[in-house]
Amino acid sequence: MSEYLVEWCVKEKRTYLKNRIELKLAALYLEVGEPSVSIKIIDPILIEVRKADDKLLLVELYLLESKINYHIKNYAKAKASLTASRANANNVYCQPSILAEIDLVSGILYAHEQDYKTAYSYFYEALEPLIAAHDLRSVNCFKYMILCKIMTNNKDDVNSLLNGKFGLKYSLDSHIQAIKEVAEAHFSSSIVALSTVFKKYHSEIEGDEVVKNHTKLLYDNLL
């Protein structure tokens, strides 16, 4: 169906619509775990859109390119793409949810560099706009805020977050329950407890690359 729509757009010279459809298609391929297909789709679009100087579309394309490069572990390119996305966002009106997503991806990249203080500030900036937009990624954002405090051994801050308004809002969410138990195992310095959490919340931890990478680091440090 998507190929038919793209062909129709080319035939009818609907370039903007074609680019939008292909952007959505690339995002879907990334969601289903096919980043190599996603990058092949957006590379030619980026060339077209740069020529047209459509800054709003460039914001979204570079943001998607950054996420794709993160998944294929090309972290330098991921950061460069995110910088390009933010630069274009500064020159055009963007919806708050898009700006929040830029902050969310920024936090993920800074966390990868183990700059957890900067990462936390980006997650904090992203959280409320995502909640206001009823975006399900707000749960991930809050989870990453807690994760940053775990990684910097700030037990009091973890407790404050979990007992605050956002912690109460998401208290029944399995992903928040998982990160809460990761925190308890970490602060008790129990590798057995941490292993138990990994088994109990296998899908919540293994299904999130950010959580998986950082909890593995916690496990290795305890070991």
**Domain count across the chain:** 1
pLDDT of 70 > 80? The answer is yes
Residue 223 lies in a domain: no
Question: Rounded to whole angstroms, what are the CA distances from 88 to 98, 146, 147?
Answer: 12, 30, 30
Question: Which single residue is written with the structure tokens 């680019």?
Answer: 19
For residue range 31-58, list pLDDT tens digits in order. Answer: 888 988 999 988 888 888 888 888 899 9
Residue 138 lies in a domain: no
Average pLDDT score over the chain = 90
Residue 56 lies in a domain: yes
pLDDT at residue number 33: 86
Residue 29 lies in a domain: yes
Residue 179 lies in a domain: no
Q: Using a CB cutoff of 8 Å and minimum separation of 24, what contacts does 190-193 make?
A: 190/222, 191/219, 191/222, 191/223
For residue range 157-175, list pLDDT tens digits in order. Answer: 999 999 999 999 998 999 9
pLDDT at residue number 210: 94
pLDDT at residue number 48: 85
- Average pLDDT of the residues in 88-105: 94
pLDDT of 142 > 90? The answer is yes
Is pLDDT larger for residue 3 or for residue 171? 171
Residue 214 lies in a domain: no
Residue 22 lies in a domain: yes
Residue 166 lies in a domain: no
pLDDT of 1 > 60? The answer is no
pLDDT at residue number 16: 73
